[in-house]
Amino acid sequence: MTPSSLRSAILQLLKISLAGALLGGLLGHIGLGLAGALLLCLVWHLHQLQRLLHWLNSPYKSQVPEARGLWGEVFDSLHHMRRREHEVRKRMQSVINRIQSSTTALSDAVVMIDRDGHLEWWNQAANTLLGLRSPDDAGQHVTNLIRDPRFVDYFELTHHAREGLDIPSHIDPNVQLMFSLTRYGRGERLMVVRDVTRLHNLEQMRKDFVANVSHELRTPLTVIVGYLETLSDNADAINPRWKRALDQMQQQARRMQALLTDLLLLARLENDELGRDEEVIQLAPLLHSIHQDARDVSGERGHQIKLEIQGGALFKGVEAELRSAFSNLVFNAVKYTQDGGQISIRWWEDVHGGHLSVSDNGAGIAPEHLNRLTERFYRVDASRNSSTGGTGLGLAIVKHVMLRHQGYLSIASTPEKGSTFTCHLPEARLIDTV
Ligand SMILES: Nc1ncnc2c1ncn2[C@@H]1O[C@H](COP(=O)(O)OP(=O)(O)OP(=O)(O)O)[C@@H](O)[C@H]1O
Ligand SMILES: [Mg+2]
């Protein structure tokens, strides 16, 4: 409202009042004339107000009411405000439309979940991959719609999870889905679901292939090893020139047998669900027997091997698997530590769970290798290891055994000083002895 229009409005009011008073004066009733003029003004303003209301409630495109003076300005300003607001709204709508049409084109499902776990919005692919129905499922809790316990666990623990969750679809078990959840805003979550069936099938083919080849090679190798043993039992009857070759054949055949056993064990660890072989294990006798085996393996190399056990050492798991994992670490320490070196095996329990560490003062491992040690066939120095006969499967087995027991392996090593390999096992699997 400009000061000039306000001034002219006041002036107009004064003029009308004066005209009313004059007319009243002529008729002998000044007061009545003034009141009549003011009433007329009031009725006119009420009429303009009513026009304004009517216009504001009508559709955006309807004609702006014609008026002059103060009311003309009010109508003009409101008209500009409405036009600006309409343009902003149009721009926002077009941004929303563009985002929606790009997420509709995505083949991955995208779902927005509020801080309490209720579905807020999802794209077209979520309907196909997760069987969501829009808009009926809006506001539903996500775990009411995807009930797989593995998903429920994953959803409730997202603040810990770094990796996605890979499970079969609840709609079609032949479809494998990868879920990943990210937090944003004030505790809301964005869930992206991808169909990884092809990748999963390829991975399964790789596992099956390795398992089948290992299995198929076992029988012929057993026959070869058998004949080699018979031959070396009758060494007198053989030409002495063949003796060395026979020894080497036997040694390599045994190496191949050990390799096949490890590959089969890995395949089983990857494929089988843990469960039926679980039992309560007394770790003390298990660790004492590994300790004794390590001393036997060390033999004349004279390592000093210490064993220390703190806590109840009762644990729920698969004994054969844990034996295999722990012995791998202890035998590695013996294998990769110089003669007479010191090795210490330690079990302890705390609020996080049970821990088994194997430390040595051997050659240690350079930092660039540490991340890759648990890969199959990975060896720090192939030439050195070929003399010690390792295949590089030991730590891969340890890693898988830990995963199956919901634990993990940590490795700390300093070149020239030594290494510590520690298996961390979850508290939930410890059995209370008190
Ligand atoms: N205590 C250790 N000190 C130094 N290096 C180690 C130690 N433990 C493992 N390594 C290194 O890590 C590599 C991988 O170990 P892993 O147990 O997987 O295989 P491996 O011992 O070579 O063969 P396998 O255990 O299958 O017979 C080893 O080749 C070795 O180079
Ligand atoms: Mg090993």
Structural contact between residues 177 and 125, judged by C-beta atoms closer than 8 angstroms: no
Q: Rounded to whole angstroms, how far apart are CA atoms 128 and 37?
A: 73
Residue located nearest, by CA, to atom 27 of ligand 1: 390
Site of tokens 């809006």:
138
Cα(335) to centroid(ligand 2), Å? 8
Residue type, 22: L
* Per-residue model confidence (pLDDT) at position 227: 93
Check whether residue 308 and residue 381 sit in a common domain: yes
**Per-residue pLDDT tens over the stretch 241-251:** 888 899 999 99
In a domain, 434, yes or no: no
Mutate to test the pocket of ligand 1, among 264, 332, 358 (most ligand atoms within 8 A of CB): 332
Instruction: Indicate whether residue 361 lines ligand 1 (CB < 6 A).
Output: no
- What is the mean pLDDT of the segment spanning 318-339? 95
In a domain, 214, yes or no: yes
* Per-residue model confidence (pLDDT) at position 61: 81
In a domain, 424, yes or no: yes
The residue ranking higher by pLDDT, 245 or 275, is 245
CA distances from 321 to 22, 280, 307, 331, 357 (A): 113, 13, 20, 15, 17
Written in H, E and C, the secondary structure of the chain is CCHHHHHHHHHHHHHHHHHHHHHHHHHCCHHHHHHHHHHHHHHHHHHHHHHHHHHHCCCCCCCCCCCCHHHHHHHHHHHHHHHHHHHHHHHHHHHHHHHHHHHHHCCCEEEEECCCCEEEEECHHHHHHHCCCCCCCCCCEHHHHCCCHHHHHHHHCCCCCCCCEEEECCCCCCCEEEEEEEEECCCEEEEEEEECHHHHHHHHHHHHHHHHHHHHHHHHHHHHHHHHHHHHHCHHHCCHHHHHHHHHHHHHHHHHHHHHHHHHHHHHHHHCCCCCCCEEEEHHHHHHHHHHHHHHHHHHHCCEEEEEECCCCEEEECHHHHHHHHHHHHHHHHHCCCCCCEEEEEEEEECCEEEEEEEECCCCCCHHHHCCCCCCCCCCCHHHHHHHCCCCCHHHHHHHHHHHCCCEEEEEEECCCEEEEEEEEEHHHECCCC
* Per-residue model confidence (pLDDT) at position 43: 94
**Per-residue pLDDT tens over the stretch 41-50:** 999 999 999 9
- What is the mean pLDDT of the segment spanning 297-321? 94
Cα(423) to centroid(ligand 1), Å? 15
Q: What is the largest CA-CA distance in the chain?
A: 157
Domain of residue 265: give its range.
Answer: 201-271
- What is the mean pLDDT of the segment spanning 209-216? 92
Instruction: Indicate whether residue 360 lines ligand 1 (CB < 6 A).
Output: yes
Check whether residue 90 and residue 168 sit in a common domain: no
In a domain, 417, yes or no: yes
Check whether residue 144 and residue 38 sit in a common domain: no
Residue 161 has pLDDT above 60, yes or no: no
- What is the mean pLDDT of the segment spanning 188-217? 93
- What is the mean pLDDT of the segment spanning 239-266? 90
Instruction: Indicate whether residue 392 lines ligand 1 (CB < 6 A).
Output: yes
Site of tokens 């298996």:
423
Check whether residue 307 and residue 394 sit in a common domain: yes
Query: Which residues are CB-neighbours of 404 under 8 A, at least 6 positions away?
Result: 269, 274, 318, 321
Check whether residue 95 and residue 120 sit in a common domain: no
Instruction: Indicate whether residue 379 lines ligand 1 (CB < 6 A).
Output: yes
Instruction: Indicate whether residue 359 lines ligand 1 (CB < 6 A).
Output: no
Cα(415) to centroid(ligand 2), Å? 18
**Nearest ligand, CA of residue 397?**
1
Residue 371 phi, psi dihedral angles, 5° rounding: -65, -25
* Confidence category of residue 67, pLDDT binned at 50, 70, 90: confident
| Among 386, 381, 325, 385, residue whose Cα is nearest residue 358 | 325
- What is the mean pLDDT of the segment spanning 335-364? 96
Residue finishing a domain among 79, 101, 123: 101
Site of tokens 């409630």:
57
Cα(394) to centroid(ligand 2), Å? 4
Check whether residue 283 and residue 422 sit in a common domain: yes
- What is the mean pLDDT of the segment spanning 129-149? 92
Ligand 1 atom at minimum distance from 363 CA: 4
* Per-residue model confidence (pLDDT) at position 95: 95
**Nearest ligand, CA of residue 399?**
1
Neighbouring residues of the ion ligand 2, judged by CB less than 5 Å: 332, 394
**Per-residue pLDDT tens over the stretch 391-425:** 889 999 999 999 999 899 999 999 999 999 999 99
- What is the mean pLDDT of the segment spanning 229-243? 86
Residue finishing a domain among 271, 306, 325: 271
Cα(395) to centroid(ligand 2), Å? 6
Residue 70 has pLDDT above 80, yes or no: yes
Check whether residue 46 and residue 153 sit in a common domain: no
* Confidence category of residue 275, pLDDT binned at 50, 70, 90: low
* Per-residue model confidence (pLDDT) at position 66: 86
* Confidence category of residue 64, pLDDT binned at 50, 70, 90: confident
Structural contact between residues 231 and 238, judged by C-beta atoms closer than 8 angstroms: yes
Residue located nearest, by CA, to atom 8 of ligand 1: 332
The residue ranking higher by pLDDT, 377 or 332, is 332
In a domain, 315, yes or no: yes
**Nearest ligand, CA of residue 374?**
1
pLDDT above 70 covers what percent of the chain? Answer: 96
Residue finishing a domain among 239, 254, 271: 271
* Per-residue model confidence (pLDDT) at position 387: 57
Structural contact between residues 347 and 287, judged by C-beta atoms closer than 8 angstroms: yes
* Confidence category of residue 158, pLDDT binned at 50, 70, 90: low
Cα(385) to centroid(ligand 2), Å? 10
Q: Rounded to whole angstroms, how far apart are CA atoms 19 and 40?
A: 12
| Among 318, 360, 321, residue whose Cα is nearest residue 342 | 360
* Confidence category of residue 153, pLDDT binned at 50, 70, 90: confident
* Per-residue model confidence (pLDDT) at position 398: 97
Check whether residue 406 and residue 424 sit in a common domain: yes
In a domain, 379, yes or no: yes
In a domain, 115, yes or no: yes
Instruction: Identify the CATH number of the domain in which residue 367 sits.
Output: 3.30.565.10
Q: Rounded to whole angstroms, how far apart are CA atoms 164 and 150?
A: 12
Question: Residue 109: beta bridge partners?
Answer: 193
| Domain tally, the chain | 4
Q: Rounded to whole angstroms, how far apart are CA atoms 316 and 281?
A: 6
Check whether residue 162 and residue 73 sit in a common domain: no
Cα(223) to centroid(ligand 2), Å? 27
Site of tokens 């990748």:
199
Residue 383 has pLDDT above 70, yes or no: no
* Confidence category of residue 372, pLDDT binned at 50, 70, 90: very high
Question: Residue 304: beta bridge partners?
Answer: 342
In a domain, 370, yes or no: yes
Query: Which residues are CB-neighbours of 211 under 8 A, at least 6 positions away?
Result: 263, 264, 267, 268, 271
Check whether residue 161 and residue 245 sit in a common domain: no
Instruction: Identify the CATH number of the domain in which residue 158 sits.
Output: 3.30.450.20
* Confidence category of residue 137, pLDDT binned at 50, 70, 90: very high
Residue 291 has pLDDT above 70, yes or no: yes
User: Can you say how many angstroms the Cα of residue 183 is from the centroid of all Cα atoms in its chain?
Assistant: 11
Asked which of 75-79, 156-160, 259-263, 426-430 is least confident by mean pLDDT, the reply is: 156-160
Check whether residue 63 and residue 143 sit in a common domain: no
Instruction: Indicate whether residue 393 lines ligand 1 (CB < 6 A).
Output: yes
Check whether residue 56 and residue 91 sit in a common domain: yes
